[in-house]
Amino acid sequence: MSKTEEKRLAQAEIDESTYLDALENQTIYIFREAYRRFEDLAMLWSIGKDSTAMLWVARKAFFGHVPFPLVHIDTTKKHPVMIEFRDKIAKEWNLDLRTGTNEKALAEGMGPEKGRFECCTALKTNALQHLIDTQGYKGIFLGIRRDEEGSRAKERVFSPRDRNFQWNFKDQPPELWDQFNTAYGVDTHVRIHPILHWTEMDIWRYIKRERIPVCSLYFSNGTHRFRSLGCVPCNSPLESTATTVDEIVAELARTTTPERAGRAQDHEKAYMMQKLRSLGYM
């Protein structure tokens, strides 16, 4: 390798690190602003790469301690390795982990065979809403990104919900030049999205730089891996030979396959995700 090429690669690494620093700093600012403005906060932890990277930044924002509970909505249909990863990290990072499950719907036989919209609404949306209501959380941090899926692109960093936790995607407050609206009425529930401005590639480059542990399902078994994690009946792996974070980053640089191509609910009906999210889905 020539010295010119070495200098170019070194500069590229510096540029990438500077860019990731800017993303991280913005997310830390959002965390601290929300913590200053709102009481009774919690963070939704789906065990996926995005919410785990977000959790990592939260630990940085509060000097190694997460000052609010972590919420995991357990449909009882997740990959077992996800639950093992959740419990391991919760113990190692000393997290206040709380789970929510719609026991009534499960007892009545709710599952994807009754319709994926109905299943997601009962086991995810309703379970989350019940937990929020019983615990009195006024704001929830979520690890969603604008580039992940169409309805998420309509979100704001501070996104108000009504007293029924429903989202009016047609009436979103402007957030120009990072001027966030945090003044809401007492009946308003707020969803806060600290990594809304990140991309899938940003997440993996940050995971690589920070050496963040992620669930093993993200790495190829030789022919396939998961790019997005969900419930076993509705979550399929995609073709991939990427077994390391470096290989995942390289793969993302050339792929044209959507990130959520393996999530069944994204394909079932037109605007299904938008309908789910308007009702309070994460």
**CATH number for 137:** 3.40.50.620
Same domain (yes/no): 149, 189: yes
Q: What is the pLDDT of residue 42?
A: 97
Would 262 be classed as within a structural domain? no
Q: Tell me: do 194 and 210 sit in the same domain.
A: no
What's the CA gap between 115 and 126, in Å, rounded? 15
- Residue 231, domain member (yes or no): yes
Residues 171 and 60 in one domain: yes
Question: Same domain for 194 and 95?
Answer: yes
- CA gap 52, 113 in Å, rounded: 30
Q: Which domain, by its residues, includes 243?
A: 204-254
Residue 89 pLDDT grade (very low, low, confident, very high; cuts 50, 70, 90)? very high
Query: What is the per-residue pLDDT across 128-146, written as a single tens digit (0 to 9) for each?
Result: 989 988 999 999 999 999 8
Mean pLDDT, the chain, whole residue set: 86
pLDDT at res. 180: 74
Same domain membership, residue 230 and residue 91: no
Domain count, the chain: 2
More confident residue, 166 or 244: 244
Together in a domain, 182 and 55: yes
Express each pLDDT in 209-256 by its tens digit. Answer: 999 999 999 999 999 999 999 999 999 999 999 999 999 999 999 998
Per-residue DSSP letter, 176:
G
Model confidence at 192: pLDDT above 60: yes
Least confident of 102-106, 146-150, 238-242, 272-276: 272-276
79 lies in some domain: yes
Specify whether 173 is located in the same domain as 212. Answer: no
Three-state helix/strand/coil letters over the chain: CCHHHHHHHHHHHHHHHHHHHHHHHHHHHHHHHHHHHCCCEEEECCCCHHHHHHHHHHHHHCCCCCCCCEEEECCCCECHHHHHHHHHHHHHCCCCEEEECCHHHHHCCCCHHHCHHHHHHHHHHHHHHHHHHHHCCCEEECCCCCCCCHHHHHCCCEEEECCCCCCCCCCCCCCHHHCCCCCCCCCCEEEECCCCCCCHHHHHHHHHHHCCCCCHHHCCCCCEECCCCCEHHHECCEECCCCCHHHHHHHHHHCCCCCCCCECHHHHCCCHHHHHHHCCCC
pLDDT higher than threshold 70 for residue 62: yes
| 168 shares a domain with 68 | yes
- Would residue 260 count as lying in a domain? no
236 and 104 within one domain: no
Statement: residue 3 has pLDDT above 80: no
- Is 110 in the same domain as 122? yes
Let me know if residue 5 belongs to a domain. Answer: no
Q: Is residue 117 part of a domain?
A: yes
Residue 96 included in any domain? yes
Are 182 and 52 members of one domain?
Answer: yes
Q: Cβ(88)–Cβ(113) under 8 Å?
A: no
Task: Report which listed range, 16-20, 109-113, 211-215, 266-270, is most confident.
Answer: 211-215
Q: pLDDT category, 9, cuts 50, 70, 90?
A: low
- Say yes or no: 92 and 213 in one domain: no
Output the CA torsion sign for 99, 100, 101, 103. Answer: positive
Task: Give a yes or no: residue 261 inside a domain.
Answer: no
Better-predicted residue by pLDDT, 162 or 19: 19
Model confidence band, residue 260 (pLDDT cutoffs 50, 70, 90)? confident
pLDDT attached to residue 177: 62
Closest among 9, 244, 154 to 252, alpha carbons compared: 244
Q: Which of 94, 104, 90 is nearest to 45 (CA)?
A: 90
Residue 262 confidence (pLDDT): 66
The percentage of the chain sitting over the pLDDT mark of 70, rounded to a whole number, equals 77
